[in-house]
Amino acid sequence: MKHPLLLFLLFAISFSTMANVKNDSLYNGKRPKIGLVLSGGGAKGFAHVGVLKIIDELEIPIDYISGTSMGSIIGGFYSIGYSAQQIEDMILSQNWDKLLADEISRKYVPFHEKQNYERHVLSFPIKPKGIQLPSGIVKGQNVINLFERLSIDYHDVTDFNKLPIPFVCVATDIETGEAVILDNGYLPEAMRASMAIPTVFSPIEIDGRLLVDGGMVNNFPVKEVVDMGADIVIGVDVQAGPKSKEELSSFLDIINQTVSLMSLNEFKKNIDFVDVYIKPNINNYSVGSFNEADSLIRKGEEIGREFVPVLKDLKEKYQLKKSKVKRYKPPVDTTTYYIKNVEYSGLNEVSKSLLAGKFNLDIPGEVSLHQLKQGINWGYGSKYFDQVDFRMLGNRAKTLQVRVKERTTKRFNVGLRYDSDNKAGVLLNTTFRNKLRSGSHLSFDLKLSETPRFVTTYAIDNGLKPGITLQAEYNDWNVNAYEDWEQVGNYDLDYLKFDMNIHSIFKESYSIGIGAKAEYYKVKSNFILSELEEGNDEDYFFSYYAFLRLDSHEKAYYPKRGISLFAEYKLVTNNGASLDGMERPASIAHVKFQKAISLTDKFTVYPKFYGRVIWGKNIPAFFLTYTGGIDQTDYFDIQMPFVGLERMEVASTNSFVFRGDFQYELFRNNYLIFKANIGKITEDVNESLTTGEWIRGLGLTYSYNSIIGPMEFSLMFSNKKKKVLNYVSLGYWF
């Protein structure tokens, strides 16, 4: 029996040797070409980086790369010379919430837009056929800008085969359903097209074809890398298999399932051509797990470690040596480029001078990457464009191409809100830009609630040059009346205002100006108000004012830096010159101040001050100072917030409130805020802070910053109230 066994062993050795000779002969004495395939999978694609770290560690040469969606992004950066470690550092340094939400600091938003920047839940373009839904939730402004900055030295390489490692990615023609192989063009744009998940990201038009995520038709492009010349294929697959109906519990689950099913047949064909198939164990993650990037990269490393013996055998068998790919040195903010000229494209309704003014570049000359980023942010923040991106061409003297997609100048916006004081409300807004002249905006606000409101505004902003704002407003407001800290009734207030001011704006954060307004009010009540001679009263007034406004907060809600300031001096008359026959009109000075001081990533302190002082006699009740309420309303300038009192509970001439909010972020988007204030209410302006009554109040707020706006529940108490008050607020303020 030994002889047959010996013969079998000899035969096996002989066959193995022949097989090796045959395999080696396939490569004509040269080492085989290694192809790397990276699948799509949303955030799960971060696991690709962990596998690449092992490949770098073993110095396995990669000759060709193909990828889809997140695989195209990781593969694209690897192909131009980024190491796996550099890609990891880039991923972990990103704020993915801001990046994927097209969020931009409010410092770049025009001053007149700051108050409107975070108050709408939905926004739709108005086109000739009517109101239309957007093509994607995310325009991809921040994403394409990131890709462009990180690949700036390869903007003029239009043939991806000429990159340090030849590269190809896959997109889908949404019109025909065909796979589109992107092996040439503009690299950042190709990567952006390949990851454009339908309904989530807006499609990208390239060469007349509207492209979306390649994962819809080919989420594991093996054949493409073989066609490039790969002899041996290493495939990293982060796709999730089809889920059961019980597992389909979210919007992203449904999208991922749809993509997986559409490309399943193509995947089954491709996997047969993979020599080393690597699939990380990431079933507990989703396509939206962007904030778990660190953990996903570690999962990729773990599976990569398991394949070390296989990869080492491959390296030794074919004597693979790492080719010398020049490591890419990504630019930093201080990196400068000599730009000889700037080309602007995509402009139709917006003037070239407006866009060039936002960039404010001294051309020809040296321009830093920071200046370029600033210009893009100023341009995008102007609200005239859905996308502002760039391309740098040339060697020493470069041409900067600034490309824009103009935003539809007519938009319909919707806001939703509920709070304990005003109850439920819906805001319907229509905004038109560039009406009558460039740089103008016309808006109409209609608030539908128990206390309806209508506002129409036309504004022209010219920066430092004087601009103008015209506004008409109507409010039907219900206000409670209090005596001795108890509610004694309520009254209905009808308010009509016509306002005009001339203003100048500095760096989109400062506004200074003068104005005049005509105001009419009518009070209806079923009881006698202490401030009024009768239960019903109406009157009109003419006011003249000067103001200074400052707003440098990076976001309207829960900012971590910046200052907001409103200071106004106003003269009030009822005949244009005096008040009730007096020799001079009444005077009102009003100040609101807040500063955000971020002590740690989690803890922020907000020192605040509110002050309102009135000079004159026989002051109308409508212009008195009303103190109370946890929030500052934007409806009237007569209210002073005070934690621990009901809204507008105390009427007086003068009021000073010193307040501090101490905010701690318990976990992402969840905040606990302790609020403390002390205030003095006086009847005589000459008494100021020396006499009068001091009131103290405390409050505690739990807040969740949701996609439809802040959701807050507050408890508060003051030394004047004998009970704990509560206040509920849901949604953006409007």
Beta-bridge partner residues of 662: 605, 674
Residue 535: phi and psi, rounded to 5, are: -70, -25
**CA separation (Å) from 572 to 166, 246, 296, 518, 614?**
73, 66, 64, 10, 10
- Of 184, 206, 183, 211, which is closest to residue 196 (Cα–Cα)? 211
Q: How far is 309 from 293, CA to CA, in rounded Å?
A: 26
> What single letter denotes the amino acid at residue 588?
I
CB atoms within 10 A of CB 34: 25
Beta-bridge partner residues of 342: 400
Give 618-671 as a DSSP string.
S--GGGSEEE-BSS--SS-SSEE-BTTS-TT-EEESEEEEEEEEEEEEEETTEE
Q: How far is 357 from 464, CA to CA, in rounded Å?
A: 12
Q: How far is 468 from 151, CA to CA, in rounded Å?
A: 43
Q: Are 31 and 319 in contact (CB under 8 A)?
A: yes
The tokens describing 8, both together, are 């079998």
Q: Are 406 and 383 in contact (CB under 8 A)?
A: no
Q: Are 611 and 682 in contact (CB under 8 A)?
A: no
Give 22-39 as a DSSP string.
HHHHTTTTSPPPEEEEE-
Choosing from 39, 66, 69, 151, the catalytic residue is 69
Choosing from 213, 231, 551, 661, the catalytic residue is 213
Q: How far is CA 492 from the centre of its chain?
A: 39
Q: 386 catalytic, yes or no?
A: no
**CA separation (Å) from 404 to 7, 372, 386?**
74, 14, 8
Q: Are 277 and 237 in contact (CB under 8 A)?
A: yes
Asked if the bond preceding 364 is cis, omega within 30° of 0, the reply is yes
CB-based burial, 448-477: b 16+ in 10 Å, e otherwise: eeebebebebbbbbeeeeebbbebebebeb
The tokens describing 326, both together, are 């020049």
Kindly report the CA angle at 218 between 216 and 224, in degrees rounded to 5?
Answer: 150
Q: How far is 513 from 546, CA to CA, in rounded Å?
A: 6
How many residues comprise the chain?
734
Q: Are 196 and 140 in contact (CB under 8 A)?
A: yes
Q: 213 catalytic, yes or no?
A: yes
- The catalytic site residues sit at 69, 213
